[in-house]
Chains A and B, each alone.
Chain A
Amino acid sequence: NAGVTQTPKFRVLKTGQSMTLLCAQDMNHEYMYWYRQDPGMGLRLIHYSVGEGTTAKGEVPDGYNVSRLKKQNFLLGLESAAPSQTSVYFCASRRRTDKSNQPQHFGDGTRLSIL
């Protein structure tokens, strides 16, 4: 059982380049999230999705786009990378339930540097 898998694990980009980060989960979870983690800032929510075909903005959505075409995948895109987007990106997923709070399962992160 792989859980939440993020690819790539590391990437260096030049300013202005574009790229897509992939998150895949094999737990049939409905909710998926993208966060960025910066020193002294904790994790900040970029975008999230409550189901296939739906996405919503989080706390820091500017400069990012997302897509959830398949339930198991959540893609984060940077159309024109900027140095301010240098960060560690985490994907998470969780089950939707009305009865109890389910934990978020996190991937191991993508370390992105933009020069």
Chain B
Amino acid sequence: QQQVKQSPQSLIVQKGGISIINCAYENTAFDYFPWYQQFPGKGPALLIAIRPDVSEKKEGRFTISFNKSAKQFSLHIMDSQPGDSATYFCAAFSGGYQKVTFGTGTKLQVIP
């Protein structure tokens, strides 16, 4: 049972454009929502994270928007660059951060 649904599966964006990836969750016990970036042959690396008491968090070109009532959160990459081309995963933690569920991933390609 997929508790975190991520879309789209793949995304092609022009350099300088905005990349948007969405995740929806079901379990209201989730209380920490990170986004990870993964390059081929490497493990995921934390990009940015948010807690449900905040509606938006921005770090550089990366922004998380969080809608608690809709149980949705999204990653926005502003001014997308070819170096951003990677697979992005959303995740949701609960149980004192011991339990985690990942989304299925979005493969982003930024073309020049």
A-B contact count (CB 8 A): 55
Contact of A42 among B42, B97, B105 (CB under 8 A): B105
Contact B104 A42 (CB under 8 A): yes
Contact A48 B43 (CB under 8 A): no
How big is the B interface, by class? 20 to 34
Interface residues of A (CB under 8 A from B): 4, 31, 33, 35, 40-45, 48, 50, 56, 58-59, 90, 92, 94, 101, 103-104, 106-109
Q: Is the interface of B mostly helix, strand, loop or mixed?
A: strand
Q: Is the interface of A mostly helix, strand, loop or mixed?
A: strand
What are 9 of the A-B contact pairs (CB < 8 Å)?
Answer: A4-B43, A40-B104, A42-B6, A42-B103, A42-B104, A90-B43, A101-B49, A101-B51, A107-B43
Interface residues of B (CB under 8 A from A): 4, 6, 9, 32, 34, 41-46, 49, 51, 89, 91, 93, 97-105
